[in-house]
């Protein structure tokens, strides 16, 4: 009896010593993004027992595909609350898959927002309120996605477009475009940032926009929109005549 008892004690001791090492190794792998984040236990209520069990194993990608397809079905039936909830499940199961975050934000900030804004059954004040709330929901989805994958150029690009076209915050749109340019090395996004800074009321931001647009001008990238925006900024910033570009404003529809 003594020998089995001693063996059991040794196993318990080894297990006790091994557990902190395994936990530390797991934490390190997750910190380095080499291991998938553990699934939120709150998913149990939403996925059901079988789906939850599968999500803890190697089938979480499959379960995410199922919840994604259900979200698409909810979209086809104009059930925006269900679309949002199902995409939340999908992104929790596959938090490092860009497409899920991007599409979830698109459905909220563009599709749902436009649906409510154009719904003539609602009074105008409520239409605008619901529309804007869904724009903000789309923004929050993108910000959450960027917390998971902070160097994802696609999500930064979508966030820039949201600030430019839906939430109308030019300075924030410019910052996001600059981030896309930094991540991709594509100078076009610096020009897009310049256009956004040019819309700002703050003189310092306008000057920043002018400098970014002049970068493109000096690189011989001179579409009509760039020429016209530079001409506007020259006036707004009182740029000395000797430093102004020689081109005249380009008429709308004119070909250079």
| CA atoms of 108 and 131, how far apart (whole Å) | 9
Tell me which residue has tokens 């149990």: 44
Q: Which pTM value belongs to this model?
A: 0.80
What whole-number distance in Å separates Cα of residue 242 and Cα of residue 234? 11
Q: Distance between CA atoms of 6 and 25, rounded to whole angstroms?
A: 29
How many other β-carbons are positioned within 10 Å of the β-carbon of residue 227?
A: 18
Give all strands (DSSP E) within 90-209, no chain letters.
none
Q: Is the dihedral of CA 138, 139, 140, 141 positive or negative?
A: positive
Instruction: Show Cβ contacts of residue 149 under 8 Å, excluding neighbours closer than 6 positions.
Output: 95, 96, 98, 101, 155
CA atoms within 13 A on the CB side of 25: 5
One digit per residue, the tens of pLDDT, for the chain of length 256 reads 456 555 545 444 444 544 454 455 445 444 554 444 554 546 656 666 556 556 667 788 899 999 999 999 999 999 999 999 999 999 999 999 999 999 999 999 999 999 999 999 999 999 999 999 999 999 999 999 999 999 999 999 999 999 999 999 999 999 999 999 999 999 999 999 999 999 999 999 999 999 999 999 999 999 999 999 999 999 999 999 999 999 999 887 665 5
């Amino acid at each position: 009896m003594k020998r089995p008892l001693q063996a059991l004690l040794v196993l318990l001791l080894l297990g006790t010593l091994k557990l902190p090492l395994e936990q530390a190794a797991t934490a390190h792998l997750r910190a380095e993004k080499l291991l998938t984040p553990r699934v939120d236990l709150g998913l149990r209520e939403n996925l059901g027992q079988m789906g939850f069990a599968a999500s803890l194993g190697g089938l979480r990608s499959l379960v995410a595909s199922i919840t994604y397809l259900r979200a698409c079905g909810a979209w086809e039936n104009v059930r925006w609350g269900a679309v949002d909830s199902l995409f939340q499940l999908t992104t929790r199961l596959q938090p490092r898959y860009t497409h899920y975050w991007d599409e979830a934000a698109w459905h909220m900030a563009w599709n749902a927002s436009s649906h409510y804004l154009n719904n003539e059954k609602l009074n105008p004040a409520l239409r605008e309120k619901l529309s804007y709330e869904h724009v903000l929901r789309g923004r929050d989805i993108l910000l959450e996605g960027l917390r998971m994958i902070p160097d994802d150029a696609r999500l930064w690009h979508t966030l820039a477009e949201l600030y430019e076209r839906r939430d109308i915050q030019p300075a924030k749109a410019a910052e996001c475009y600059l981030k896309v340019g930094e991540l991709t090395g594509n100078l076009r996004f610096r020009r897009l940032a310049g256009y956004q800074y040019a819309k700002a009321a703050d003189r310092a931001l306008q000057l920043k926009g002018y400098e970014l647009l002049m970068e493109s001008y000096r690189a011989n990238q001179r579409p009509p929109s760039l020429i016209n925006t530079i001409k506007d900024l020259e006036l707004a910033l009182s740029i000395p005549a000797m430093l102004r570009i020689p081109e005249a404003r380009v008429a709308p529809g004119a070909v250079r």
